[in-house]
Amino acid sequence: MKLQLTLLTCGRCGKPRGRRHLCRGTRKGRDKPRLTVRYECGKCGRSVRNPFRHTCSIRTDWARRRKAAARKAKAAARRELRKKRAREAAARRKAAAAERRAKARDAKPARPRADRHNPRNCQDPECTRYGCNLYSDGYKDGLIAAAQGRETP
């Protein structure tokens, strides 16, 4: 324990008056001669009047950190709940879309596919299919070119 002795006290604020006393505002009171004894605790650094009744309380930031951790945990729990709800909503939407697709598939009658049509084997001279027309035109051009003795372009 450090010992502080003061002989004068400020007439305005009552604080010990020394070489470096700075009082707020204008001082109108007189300095009073008063013996003041103060002790400074070596552990916590507080100045106390009675060293026998002093109990040290070292202030830490443990409570603040605990509250911050609780806030973070609560925020994380809220975030997880939001993500869970979003996943459930996405699953519901996906199931509803699959159900709609299945209904649409069942509602529409399956269109019968046309039989396979190879233009090379088509025997119909009046066939209007695009592939058959191209094939017959190319075949005719090839026959004409062969008859004239030249190569096809």
Q: pTM of the predicted model, to two decimals?
A: 0.35
> Rounded distance, CA 73 to CA 70, Å?
5
Map tokens 């209904």 to a residue. Answer: 103
> Rounded distance, CA 140 to CA 142, Å?
5
Output the pLDDT for position 5: 62
Strand order in the sheet with 16-17: 16-17, 2-9, 32-40, 47-48
119's enclosing H/E stretch is: none
Domain extents for the chain? 2-48, 119-143
**Would you write out the chain's pLDDT as a tens digit for each of its 153 residues?**
666 666 667 766 767 666 666 676 566 666 666 677 778 888 887 888 788 888 887 778 898 999 999 999 999 999 999 999 999 999 999 999 999 999 988 887 777 777 777 888 888 878 888 888 888 888 888 888 888 887 755
Output the pLDDT for position 90: 97
> Rounded distance, CA 86 to CA 97, Å?
16
